[in-house]
Amino acid sequence: MEKIMMFYQPRCPFCKRAFAYIDELVAENPEFGKIEIEKVDELEQPEFADRFDYYYVPTFYVGSYKAHEGGIYKEEVRSLLQSVIDGTRYVQPKD
């Protein structure tokens, strides 16, 4: 199972919401708790974050694939986590 890398900023309301969604979804489905999520505070690790191609937070990478960038809804987080469990590629919905 691939790990998720999540880039965030501590004061970002969208990031806070994404963290809450992850917690809720793990409580609803313990299988999601088996997914390793590396959380990268881009303000504390700017040199590392600059190596990745994104502009908005939260941004989720699954392996080396940028799966989602920017604000995210609970169902999108669920789909992202499920794609990791299933070994499939998550595609960010278009606006």
Residue 94 pLDDT class (50, 70, 90 cuts): confident
74-86 helix and 13-28 helix, angle to the nearest 10 degrees: 60
Q: Which of 40, 51, 43 minimizes the C-alpha distance to 7?
A: 40
> By percentage, how much of the chain surpasses pLDDT 90?
92
CA atoms of 93 and 2, how far apart (whole Å) = 21
Fold of 4-86: Glutaredoxin (3.40.30)
Ranges 60-64, 71-75, 81-85, 89-93: which has the least confidence: 89-93
Please determine, for residue 95, whether its predicted confidence score (pLDDT) is greater than 70.
no
CA atoms of 50 and 56, how far apart (whole Å) = 12
Q: Quick one: pLDDT at residue 29? A: 97
Where exactly are the structural domains of the chain?
Answer: 4-86
Residue 46 pLDDT class (50, 70, 90 cuts): very high
Q: Quick one: pLDDT at residue 92? A: 84
